[in-house]
Amino acid sequence: MKEISELDFPEDLYYTEEHEWARVTDGNVTIGISDYAQDQLGDVVFVEMPASGDQFKKGDAFGTVESVKAVSELYMPIDGEVIRVNQTLEDAPELLNQSPYADGWILEIKPGDASQLETILNRDAYLKMLKES
């Protein structure tokens, strides 16, 4: 496992305490797992994702990531309806390890209440949480 200082945490993302990230683009929200999460999991071997059209509330489990070490639940950072999933992860789950913020995104949602993003962590608050744990 890497030191926190060796990991990448883009400034333009929001982060959850459960280590998901959220990026707003054209009114929709793309969601994935942080560099810290993929580093802790180790080699990802499978990603279970919801279907387009599924609706979730903030905090709902929406899928799982299976690695050689563990199976971890994925939690929705805000309310929303799934409009797209990253089908590439079905055949290449290792993209979560290789490129968690670009090719390794998990899903895109139409937010139910985009103001909920203000209740999750910015980069600085997320780093502070990681360093204190």
Split the chain (133 residues) into runs of 10 and give each run's mean pLDDT: 96 98 97 98 98 98 96 98 98 97 98 95 97 93
Give residue 61's pLDDT. Answer: 98
All domains of the chain in start order, with CATH: 4-124 (2.40.50.100)
> What is the Cα–Cα distance from 109 to 58, expressed in whole angstroms?
12
Q: Which two tokens stand for residue 118?
A: 């203000």
Placement of tokens 């929705």 in the chain: 76
- % of the chain surpassing 90 pLDDT: 98
Q: What is the pTM of this model?
A: 0.97
